[in-house]
Amino acid sequence: AQTVTQSQPEMSVQEAETVTLSCTYDTSESDYYLFWYKQPPSRQMILVIRQEAYKQQNATENRFSVNFQKAAKSFSLKISDSQLGDAAMYFCAYQEYGNKLVFGAGTILRVKS
């Protein structure tokens, strides 16, 4: 079964600085999708960014970007110019075409002012 590992239970970043959240996954498939979801305190989980495995180019959404290393099965999330509103639990998730999402355990990100 596919597994997703987030090795950092908690991370802290100073406002305006950059932070990277780590994620590794285990699969024997070549086609799949990877996601980062954000769950703010007491608010609904939302999609931050998505990456298709067949695309070599790393996905970017404004201040959020990923470093996708397919051979290493690594999918890290970089948040630039961190803001107080970025404080949340971040989940990495894996999906094969048409199949369910598999989530990591999550990383709590704290942003210091």
Partner 1 sequence: DVKVTQSSRYLVKRTGEKVFLECVQDMDHENMFWYRQDPGLGLRLIYFSYDVKMKEKGDIPEGYSVSREKKERFSLILESASTNQTSMYLCASSLKQVAAYEQYFGPGTRLTVT
**Residue whose token pair is 């939302």:** 46
Q: What are phi and psi of 22, to 5 degrees?
A: -95, 150
**Residue whose token pair is 């996601």:** 35
Q: Is position 36 an interface residue for partner 1 (rule: CB under 8 A)?
A: no
Q: Is position 101 an interface residue for partner 1 (rule: CB under 8 A)?
A: yes
Q: Contact region for partner 1 (CB under 8 A) — 12-20, 29-37, 55-63, 73-81? A: 29-37
Q: Is position 95 an interface residue for partner 1 (rule: CB under 8 A)?
A: yes
Q: How far is the CB of 49 from partner 1 (least distance, A)?
A: 11
Q: How far is the CB of 32 from partner 1 (least distance, A)?
A: 9
The residue from 41, 71, 97, 113 that contacts partner 1 (CB under 8 A) is 97
Q: Is 39:105 a contact under the CB 8 Å cutoff?
A: no
Nearest to 79 by CA among 65, 68, 89: 65
